[in-house]
Homo-oligomer: A and B are copies of this chain.
Amino acid sequence: MYIRENLRWRVIWKYAWPSLLFFTIYDIVVCYLYGPLGFRSLDIPWQPVGTLGVAVAFYVGFKNNGSYDRFWEGRKLWGGIVNYSRTWAIEALEFVTSVVDAPDVQASPASAQELTIRHRRLVYRQIAWINAVRLNLRRQPELWDEAVAPFLEPAESEQMRGLSNPPTHILRAQAAEMRVLRESRGLLNDFQHVTMMRVIEELFNLQGGCERIKNTPFPRQYAYFSAVFVWLFALLLPLGLIGEFEKMGPSHFWLTVPFSVLVSWVYYTIEWVGHHSEDPFENEMNDVPMTAICRNIEIDLRQLLGETNMPSKIEPVNDILY
């Protein structure tokens, strides 16, 4: 996620120069053919170009809407992951207490030490889950050792990493621990048990929502033609303008170049912006900053556990927060 209020010009330039260069060369070629080489039939009336411009603006606007909605839905899902991570942690801490209140279970009350271990395991596994979801979305299994493993017990970590969808199995491990707490250890009563299972249901919904956006690109038929139409418009534009500039005075047709480049660039940029916002989980400039969110959750949850030795927040790199 780009975080400066205004984009730096060098960022804009970095993405803009190839298209600007192309438009400039193309428009010069058109003018050269029209003027010095006298291909006067390159001059076409403005009407089809203008109508095309309006229709294309509509279509690209439609695509931009869709792209933005995808980004915002992705961000909302990660917002939900923040919220339910907190809810999970607080329920783990305040439901799993020394009192044995599961019906029909005979067991001794939990010691403070046992509780510390159990709380830590339940909360750390949640931190493991958020990181595992992130790695899954960004296709970065190589970061497992650094981002997921520290929050799981070693055996669990090894078992999970080989499965096709590790986050699903991490949640299943949470559910299995709930079962033990309810049925064998007796520290969760039935109300608390189903309440926490409902949180797991929500976490599945959030995880699945992210996977849906990741696995289903913006429909290619919509997305692709948007670029095709913008290029068609940019190619027709100097043909429609050159005659109009010609009317302004001799050699004025050369002014077609800067103004045609300018208008083409605006259309191109509108399309480009939408195109690069389609997919919010690609580890690029316009992404949901999942690494930073995961770190924030980690800090929040570890503070709830009473830990004080916190990792630092993620800082933006070149104005981009990942």
- A residues contacting B by CB (< 8 A) are 1-7, 40-41, 43-59, 61-62, 64-66, 68, 71, 75-76, 78-80, 82-84, 86-87, 90-91, 93-95, 97, 99, 101, 103-104, 163-165, 168-169, 171-172, 175-176, 178-179, 183, 189-195, 197-201, 204-205, 207-209, 211-212, 216-217, 219-222, 224-225, 229, 232, 236-237, 240-241, 243-245, 247-249, 252, 255, 259-260, 262-263, 266-267, 269-270, 273, 276-277, 285-286, 299-300, 303-304, 310
Q: Do B90 and A200 touch across chains, with their CB atoms under 8 A apart?
A: yes
Option from B47, B243, B255, B270 in Cβ contact (under 8 Å) with A41: B255
> Which 6 residue pairs of A and B lie closest in terms of their CB atoms, listed nearest first?
A45-B244, A83-B208, A79-B212, A190-B191, A55-B57, A51-B53
What is the bound-complex CA distance between A192 and B102, given in angstroms? 14
Report the nearest B residue to A259, measured CB to CB.
B48
What is the CB-to-nearest-CB distance from A24 to chain B, in angstroms, rounded to a whole number? 15
Query: Are A51 and B303 in contact (CB-based, < 8 A)?
Result: no
Q: Is the interface of A mostly helix, strand, loop or mixed?
A: helix
What residues on B are CB-neighbors of A255 within 8 Å? 41, 44
Q: Copy number of this protein in the oligomer?
A: 5
Closest CB-CB distance, A263 to chain B, in whole Å?
Answer: 5
Q: Within 8 Å CB of A45, what residues of B?
A: 241, 244-245, 247-248
Q: A190-B189, A200-B87 are in contact. Are A44 and B245 (CB under 8 A)?
A: yes
Given A44-B259, A270-B55: A205 in contact with B303 (beta carbons within 8 A): no
Contacts of A193 in B (CB 8 A): 191
Evaluate contact between A269 and B225: CB separation under 8 angstroms.
yes
Answer whether A179 and B97 are a contact pair too, CB < 8 Å, given A44-B245, A255-B41: yes
CA distance A248 to B244 in the complex (A): 11
- Do A3 and B220 touch across chains, with their CB atoms under 8 A apart? yes
User: Which of B90, B172, B245, B285 interacts with A175 by CB under 8 Å?
Assistant: B90
Bound: A48/B59 CA distance, A: 19
Q: Kindly state the separation between the CA atoms of A277 and B220 in the bound complex, as whole angstroms.
A: 11
Q: Contacts A45-B245, A208-B79, A263-B52 known; A222 to B94 CB distance under 8 Å?
A: no
Q: What 7 additional pairs, Cβ within 8 angstroms, besides A45-B245, A55-B267? A: A4-B220, A40-B248, A44-B255, A82-B211, A86-B208, A169-B303, A225-B269
Residue of B nearest to A304 (CB): B172
Query: Complex: how many Å from CA A205 to CA B84?
Result: 8
Task: Please tell me if the beta carbons of A273 and B225 are within 8 angstroms of each other in the complex.
Answer: yes
B195 close to A194 (CB less than 8 A): yes
Contacts of A104 in B (CB 8 A): 101
Chain B residue nearest in CB terms to A201:
B87
Cα–Cα, bound, A82→B165 (Å): 13
Closest to A57 in B: B55
Per the bound structure, the CA–CA distance linking A3 and B243 in Å amounts to 42
Candidate in A5, A219, A222, A255 with the most chain B CB atoms within 10 angstroms: A219
